[in-house]
Amino acid sequence: MPNFIVPATTPDRDGCVLSITPQTAGWEYVGFQVFRLSEGQTLIRATGDQEAALVLLSGRADVKAGGESWDNIGKRMSVFEKTPPYTVYVPSQQQYEVKALTEMELAVCLAPGKGNHRARLIEPQDVGVENRGSGSMSRLVHNILPEQKPADSLLVVEVFTDGGNWSSYPPHKHDRDELPEESLLEETYYFRIDPEQGFAVQRVYTDDRSLDETMAVKDGEAVMVPEGYHPVSAPPGYDVYYLNVMAGPKRIWKFRNDPDHGWLMG
């Protein structure tokens, strides 16, 4: 069953307001955290056996990782500026340090790592920008860490859906390890809503309907998608942002559209 994760009203001492681990999610691969750091606050963490993508959702920071450092990175002050973010990739068995230069929101995307890649900065110009879909199915996609870019497990993408539009649509799924037709990928959705008093609607369902849940998701909440189709709707008047983290046994995104709605691709 998909689960809501509601952010804490007050950050903990490290600034964490939301945390998903494989243990709390009841799955194997994806971890996800959100930190809200005040100006001058420093976050220091070790990746252990996981690799990390540090996505600067908003605000500016100095970041150190893997013997490298990047000063004064970050540009957008809100995700709804719709410019691609700065992201730092950190391999497993490394320490990273993030010093906030302004108030900032930081997403830490986690998945199993093998230490095969160096720490690196992913700048906005390195992010693939795509307008996907048409009409009321159109949305803006930022491919932050797609399968064509180096990583061991992580796939990271952010999506902007205008009010009145649908996203992750037509409904698709990726819950079977049956390549080349479909890959098994766990997935988290982290939502921001503009204006913030709004909501998004997400349905998660399987072919046999043993899982069939429809959720009203508020600003700052996350949804875990262990299996099934998972479309999103942005109600009129409210623009919806979500950050997706995916990982599974093979680092490839192959999905299957719901055959009932595949005709929409035509």
156: exposed, middle or buried (Cβ count in 10 Å: 0-12, 13-18, 19+)? buried
Reading phi first (left if > 0) and then psi (alpha if -120 to 50, else beta), residue 159 is in beta
What SS3 state is found at 45? strand
Inter-residue contact 60 to 67 (CB < 8 Å):
no
| Spatial CA neighbour of 108 closest among 28, 191, 23, 51 | 51
Could you tell me the sign of the dihedral formed by the alpha carbons of 24, 182, 244, 137, in that order? negative
Q: How do the pLDDT tens digits run along the chain, 266 residues long?
A: 567 889 998 999 999 999 999 999 999 999 999 999 999 999 999 999 999 999 999 999 999 999 999 999 999 999 999 999 999 999 999 999 999 999 999 999 999 999 999 999 999 999 999 999 999 999 999 999 999 999 999 999 999 999 999 999 999 999 999 999 999 999 999 999 999 999 999 999 999 999 999 999 999 999 999 999 999 999 999 999 999 999 999 999 999 999 999 888 87
Cα distances (Å, whole numbers) of residue 231 to 27, 123, 214: 21, 29, 10
Joined together, the tokens standing for residue 92 give 């497993």
Torsion of CA 216, 259, 257, 28, to 10 degrees: 70
Domain ranges of the chain: 5-264
CATH level 3 topology of 5-264: Jelly Rolls (2.60.120)
pTM greater than the 0.75 cutoff: yes
Would you list the DSSP string of 103-144? SEEEEEEEEE--S-S--EEE-GGGSEEEEES-GGG-EEEEEE
Question: What are the start-end ranges of the H helices in the chain?
Answer: 22-25
In whole angstroms, what separates CA 5 from the centre of its chain?
A: 14
Q: What is the per-residue pLDDT for 88?
A: 98
